[in-house]
Amino acid sequence: MSRGQIGVLPSVWYEPMGGITVELMAAGKCLIVSAEGGLAECAGEAGLTFPNGDHDTLAERMLQLLADPELQRSLSARARERAKKFLPSPFVDQYVALLRELSGQH
């Protein structure tokens, strides 16, 4: 993964969670992901999308990204920043606050 620049994550399914998407973003990789499901939900504005199962549009996105170094730099920077939203500490803090609230220990 360290040698590649672009992560391509195609799926014909509505993926429930895009864990590999988060890993690739943390590594600063440019992403091209299926538009419906967890892959695109995780990538957000940090990746390009294409309709699930549409190999023609996938090929267009791949050529678009390969031809545009500025877009590559922009997506890579957005990917690193977006990956921070998936760090465990904010989720743990939210769960602790919720448990305190439910138990009456504010």
Neighbours of 39 (CB within 10 A): 28
How far CA 71 is from CA of 3, 26, 45, 78, 106, in Å, comes to 19, 17, 12, 10, 46
Which tens digits make up the pLDDT trace of 35-61? 999 999 999 999 999 999 999 999 999
pLDDT score of 74: 97
**Rounded to two decimals, what is the model's pTM?**
0.80
Domains of the chain (ranges; CATH) run 6-103 (3.40.50.2000)
